[in-house]
Amino acid sequence: MKNWNIANIPSQKGKTFLITGANSGTGYGVARALAQKGGNVIMAVRNLEKGKAARAGILKENPHAIIELMQLDLADLTSVEEFSKAFLSQYERLDVLINNAGIALPNERQETKQGFEAHFGTNHLGHFALTSKLLILLQNTKDSRIVTVASFVPKNNKSVINWDDLQNQTNFDGMTAYGESKLANIMFALELQERLINSNSTVLSLIANPGFTKSGIQDGMSVMIKIMTSLFAQSIEMGMLPILRAATDPTVKGGEFYGPLKMKEMRGYPELTHVPGPALIVKDRQKLWTLSEQMTQTSYNFK
């Protein structure tokens, strides 16, 4: 569909959406749009104060919005565990899980609470663990979906998984680590779809690339990146569209990847695109899955 936009989203009344990193950037835009369409939106945020301000902004614009706030720190697997237990105790359905939260740090290696390199640990492992714990609810909800937010970086930077240094302890480079974590997101989403199919599940796993968007993720980057952002990045209103399409378009199929196609997939309306070559290697996807289970001490229970 050409120039797919918010007007193409059908009513989401009665559906429950969980969005990680929903207090700013594309996550906030997605939460706002889904609330406008009648969805029951749960904003999962690390900083509750910022989350409260974001929720208040949506309610000010749309007083009838059904929007809740929950604390979640994807850089801490204990927080993921506690959040998941709380969510399962409060909600009886989950139509769409949007794994949106992400970090992009400068050239200074940092670690998560459990000692994983911050990009890989937050962007990939945190969402890997979260999805496993909420899968039972997704499987019990008809026509549910999991949308994993990736990036154009793995394609443009020709990212690969460095199996010999998965924690990026040698010659650390922030953009390389970011690209690797986003490739891991894509590999996870594709392998998840395969395992869902093999278990005869109706849950769909999809991927979205918001393109080069003024989302705030660039705040901790170099001056050059900030200049490029001001010159070339598209608006949040455009960047959120691939996520929304993957989450709501009734015609999508599991395993599909939506994002802009212009300017090396950095700008434009959401369209169906291809996944980067390394994500198509089945044995590597399976290897990453096994390692991720070991690192997070998580196992998936497919029906």
Instruction: Give me the active site residues, please.
Output: 178
Buried b (16+ CB within 10 A) or exposed e, 149-158: bbbbbbbebe
H helix or E strand, kind and range, residue 149: strand 145-149
Interaxial angle between packed helices 127-139 and 174-198, expressed in degrees from 0 to 180 and rounded to the nearest 10: 20
Q: Confirm if 160 and 180 have CB atoms less than 8 A apart.
A: yes
DSSP 193-229: HHHHHHTT---EEEEE---SB-SSGGGGS-HHHHHHH
Rounded to an integer, what distance in angstroms lies between the CA atom of residue 37 and that of residue 28? Answer: 14
SS3 61: helix
Would you say the C-alpha torsion 34, 90, 206, 267 has a positive or negative sign?
positive
Q: Work out the angle at residue 89's Cα, subtended by the Cα atoms of residues 87 and 91, and round it to the nearest 5 degrees.
A: 65
- Any alpha helices (H) in the chain, and if so which ranges? 25-36, 48-61, 77-90, 118-119, 127-139, 153-156, 174-198, 223-232, 236-239, 241-248, 262-265, 282-296
Rounded to an integer, what distance in angstroms lies between the CA atom of residue 105 and that of residue 121? Answer: 13
Give the number of C-alpha atoms closer than 13 A to the C-alpha of residue 208, restricted to the C-beta side. 30
Q: Confirm if 205 and 254 have CB atoms less than 8 A apart.
A: yes
Q: Which residues contact 100 (CB under 8 A, 6 or more apart)?
A: 19, 20, 21, 22, 26, 27, 30, 147, 149, 243
